[in-house]
């Protein structure tokens, strides 16, 4: 059971969903306990065995997830994770305690991974994030070590190609705070000034709540969109919170979390905003 934390972290990075990650880990343990005592005793490293099994299950889930997401209403975004200080769960444990927060857990990183194939994603995460050898990765993916090296390399190029230079957390927090203030003031000019000219804003309502079905592009269009939904009269309360290990915002209406916003900051401006409104993805923020 001491391996559970790492397994949850692996599955969340691969699937972008804490609920799905927990299902995968539960299935991996079910397979472990389905073995006879002699079979379990013959396994030299249980953690490695569980990782291989969880990786294979994730590979299968990713294949079916692509089909489900083609039918998804609007844009699909990863489930946002709160910081431990904001976790208000039912006592079953803090998801952040089970998913170590680093660059590989940021919303920007997870969104980029959605453009990779399941095999690329598994090879890249196992090798580059969890430091498994390509020989070990090959046992999970079912390819040769050389093929797994190519898969990981392909995913790595996509991640590097879309990554902006890292911005210190304090500067990110300052930009997000300024965005919050401008949004509350419905100050379109200030909002425009905080966005890169080619900024994009993506919402995920999953067909369960109202959300724009396609990304909004351009600083002025985004600024007007948020200004139309801000201000004291809107009834929305904005709170600064840590989202997937980085500065973000939570929007509350009548004390209930209705949206979680993650940001990608480039220099002194925001180039991408991801707003998760799907209530099924906000359980970690609303339970309790």
Residue 248 to residues 107, 173, 283: CA-CA distances in angstroms? 10, 8, 17
8 Å CB contact between 148 and 123: yes
Residues 6+ away with beta carbon under 8 Å from 211: 74, 203, 204, 205, 275, 277, 278
Q: Taking Cα atoms as reference points, which of 188, 213, 217 lies closest to residue 200?
A: 217
Q: Which residues pair with 273 in a beta bridge?
A: 201, 263
| pLDDT value, residue 186 | 93
More confident residue, 5 or 26: 26
Percentage of residues in the chain having pLDDT higher than 90 = 73
pLDDT band at 166 (very low <50, low <70, confident <90, very high): confident
Query: Are 173 and 240 contacting, i.e. CB atoms less than 8 angstroms apart?
Result: yes
Q: Percent of the chain scored above 70 by pLDDT?
A: 91
pLDDT for 191-207, tens place per residue?
A: 999 999 999 999 999 99
Distance CA 45, CA 36 (A): 16
Other C-beta atoms lying within 10 Å of the C-beta of residue 124: 25
pTM of the entire predicted model = 0.88
- Of the two residues 69 and 16, the one the predictor is more confident about is 16
Under the banding of pLDDT at 50, 70 and 90, the label for residue 90 is very low
Alpha helices per DSSP H over the chain: 4-15, 18-34, 37-41, 46-70, 95-98, 107-113, 118-124, 134-141, 145-162, 169-184, 188-193, 219-227, 283-286
Domains, the chain, with CATH or none: 4-71+104-161 (1.20.140.160), 169-286 (3.10.450.50)
User: Mind listing the pLDDT tens digit for each residue in 33-56?
Assistant: 999 999 999 999 999 999 999 999
Other C-beta atoms within 10 Å of 13: how many? 25
Banded pLDDT at 101 (limits 50, 70, 90): low
């Amino acid at each position: 059971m001491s391996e559970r934390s790492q397994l949850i972290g692996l599955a969340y990075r691969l699937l972008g969903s804490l609920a799905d990650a927990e299902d995968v880990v539960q299935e991996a343990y079910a397979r472990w306990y389905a073995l006879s005592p002699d079979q379990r005793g013959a396994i030299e490293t249980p953690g490695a065995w569980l990782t291989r099994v969880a990786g294979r299950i994730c590979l299968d889930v990713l294949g079916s997830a692509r089909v489900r997401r083609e039918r998804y209403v609007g844009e699909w975004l990863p489930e946002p994770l709160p910081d431990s200080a904001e976790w208000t769960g039912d006592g079953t444990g803090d998801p952040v305690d089970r998913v170590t927060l680093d660059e590989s857990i940021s919303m920007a990183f997870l969104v980029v991974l959605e453009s990779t194939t399941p095999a690329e994603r598994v090879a890249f995460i196992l090798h580059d994030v969890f430091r498994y050898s390509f020989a070990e990765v090959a046992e999970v993916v079912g390819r040769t070590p050389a093929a797994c090296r190519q898969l990981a390399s392909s995913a790595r190029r996509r991640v590097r190609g879309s990554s902006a230079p890292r911005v210190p957390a304090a500067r990110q927090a300052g930009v997000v705070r300024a965005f919050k203030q401008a949004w509350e003031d419905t100050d379109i000019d200030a909002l425009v000034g905080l966005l890169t000219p080619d900024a994009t804003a993506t919402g995920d309502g999953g067909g369960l709540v109202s959300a724009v079905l396609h990304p909004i592009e351009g600083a002025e269009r985004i600024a007007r969109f948020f200004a139309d939904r801000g201000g004291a009269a809107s009834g929305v309360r904005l709170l600064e919170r840590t989202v997937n290990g980085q500065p973000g915002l939570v929007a509350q209406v009548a004390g209930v979390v209705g949206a979680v916003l993650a940001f990608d900051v480039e220099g002194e401006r925001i180039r991408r905003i991801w707003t998760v409104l799907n209530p099924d993805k906000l359980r970690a923020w609303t339970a309790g």
